[in-house]
Amino acid sequence: MSPEPTDVRGLYFEEYQVGQRIITTGRTVTESDIVSFAGISGDFTQIHTDAEYSKGTPFGQRVAHGLLGMAIGSGLAAQTGVMEGTVLAFREIKNWKFMKPMFIGDTIHVELEVTSVKAISRIGGGSVEIVLSVINQDDETVMKGIWVVLIASKPS
């Protein structure tokens, strides 16, 4: 049995405001990340795993899986602690776009911006829409979309 957390680090529903922005730390995408993700997902597509094949593509090198970028972005967002202990459910991803490739050696960070909050009394909290932008070391947005998360209200 896991111990119950004693401190809530995350923001409660009432603490989210439209326009609120959070910027994560950075993380460099490695060859090991790509190989591990291929193994976990079963996606060994050559553009991700074959250096010689990838030389002949428009990118000229291996490209990280788009879903790997989403996963790393999710982890960076989680590391901020903004939802730790307060998130009830991850409800939806909307309008996700892969705009630029991610390569081995790219360092990405995530910028989160709250765009909508809606109280849902029956769940004891509300819905928060957050635009996530995954940005590389050249300040280029490589992917972007909207998370809809359900967040708990502050205890009475």
Residue 138 lies inside a defined structural domain of this protein = yes
| Residues whose CB falls within 8 Å of the CB of residue 102, separated by 6 or more in sequence, listed in order | 29, 63, 64, 66, 68, 69, 108, 136, 142
**Strand 125-135 versus strand 21-23 pairing type:** unpaired
> What is residue 8's predicted lDDT score, i.e. its pLDDT?
63
DSSP tag of 14: G
CATH of the domain at 21: 3.10.129.10
Question: For residue 87, is it within any domain?
Answer: yes
Q: What is the DSSP string of 61-107?
A: S----HHHHHHHHHHHHHHTTTTTTTEEEEEEEEEEEE-S---TT-E
Q: Is position 3 within any domain? A: no
Task: Report the residue count for the chain.
Answer: 156
Rounded to whole angstroms, how far apart are CA atoms 38 and 45? Answer: 8
Q: Specify the pairing of strand 87-98 against strand 141-152.
A: antiparallel
**6, part of any domain:** no
Q: Does residue 33 lie within any of the structural domains?
A: yes
The whole-model pTM stands at 0.91
Is residue 2 situated within a structural domain?
Answer: no
Separation CA 149–CA 12 (nearest Å):
12
1, part of any domain: no
Tokens encoding 91: 């409800």
Q: For residues 105-121, b (16+ Cβ closer than 10 Å) or e, as one string? A: ebebbbbbbbeebeeee
Q: Assess if residue 8 is contained within a domain.
A: no
Counting the structural domains of the chain, the total is: 1
What is the pLDDT tens value at each position of the chain, 156 positions in all?
Answer: 444 444 668 999 999 999 999 999 999 999 999 999 999 999 999 999 999 999 999 999 999 999 999 999 999 999 999 999 999 999 999 999 999 999 999 999 999 999 999 999 999 999 999 999 999 999 999 999 999 999 999 998
Domain of 84 in residue numbering reads as 13-152
